[in-house]
Every structure is written in structure tokens, then in C-alpha cells.
């Protein structure tokens, strides 16, 4: 069974703080890594799909890096805002067919 681990499980920060989370996954049979942002009572929102070792992607204040050789990805949020409060999920695709294996997520709470 493929094990995808995200840390920390939860994070509480003040508005303006920068933060980062980790996603660890087995490096064998890797095809892509998906990051999602999921607010309560809404649909998970796609942030990034990353495929190449060394990939860096950015969307506004959120960026992500990928290391496929060692099996990890970092998600960074610069200057957190209350609206960034959500659960952040990573999911590798390990068979090239889009069958995502999700981690448990990191729950971020940003206080004003």
C-alpha cells in the first residue's frame, strides 16, 4: 500500500506569517504530484500538477517545489491571509492513469 504522508497535520499561524508544509511519497513509480486546497463545505480546488524533478510552480502567494528522487514536495504560502485557511492535500499519481493517492492533508488556520 502506497503511503503518502503530510506534515504537519495542522498549523495555526497569524496573518502575515509565511508557512510551509511537506508531502512525502515513495519515489518509485512516480508520474505526477497534485496539490489541492480544500475549504470546508466547498469542492477541493486544484493548485498545481507537478511532474518533473526540480519543478517549481507558483500561483499568487502560493508556491510549490518537487523532488522526485527523494520523494517529497513542499508547499509554501507567503504572507498568510485568513482566506488561506483550508486543508491542503497532496496526491501523487503513481500509475500514469490519474488514480490519485491522497495524504491526510495539512489543516491551516490563519488568525487575523
Partner 1 sequence: ETGVTQSPTHLIKTRGQQVTLRCSSQSGHNTVSWYQQALGQGPQFIFQYYREEENGRGNFPPRFSGLQFPNYSSELNVNALELDDSALYLCASSLEPGRETQYFGPGTRLLVL
**Chain residues in the site for partner 1 (CB under 8 A):** 4, 31-32, 34, 36, 41-46, 49, 51, 89, 91, 93, 95-105
Supply the minimum distance, in Å, between the C-beta of residue 82 and partner 1.
21
Residues with Cβ within 8 Å of 8's Cβ and at least 6 positions away in sequence, in order, are 21, 106
CA 5/CA 2 separation, integer angstroms: 10
Q: What is the dihedral of CA 63, 64, 65, 67, to 10 degrees?
A: 180
Nearer to partner 1, 37 or 110 (CB): 37
Supply the minimum distance, in Å, between the C-beta of residue 89 and partner 1.
6
Nearer to partner 1, 41 or 60 (CB): 41
Amino acid at each position: 500500500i502506497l503511503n503518502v504522508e503530510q506534515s504537519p497535520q495542522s498549523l495555526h499561524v497569524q496573518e502575515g506569517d509565511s508557512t510551509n508544509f511537506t508531502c512525502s511519497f515513495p519515489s518509485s513509480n512516480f508520474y505526477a504530484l497534485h496539490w489541492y486546497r480544500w475549504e470546508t463545505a466547498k469542492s477541493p480546488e486544484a493548485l498545481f500538477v507537478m511532474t518533473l524533478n526540480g519543478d517549481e510552480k507558483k500561483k499568487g502567494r502560493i508556491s510549490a517545489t518537487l523532488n522526485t528522487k527523494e520523494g517529497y514536495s513542499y508547499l509554501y504560502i507567503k504572507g498568510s491571509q485568513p482566506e488561506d485557511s483550508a486543508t491542503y492535500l497532496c496526491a501523487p499519481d503513481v500509475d500514469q492513469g490519474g488514480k490519485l493517492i491522497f495524504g491526510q492533508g495539512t489543516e491551516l488556520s490563519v488568525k487575523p
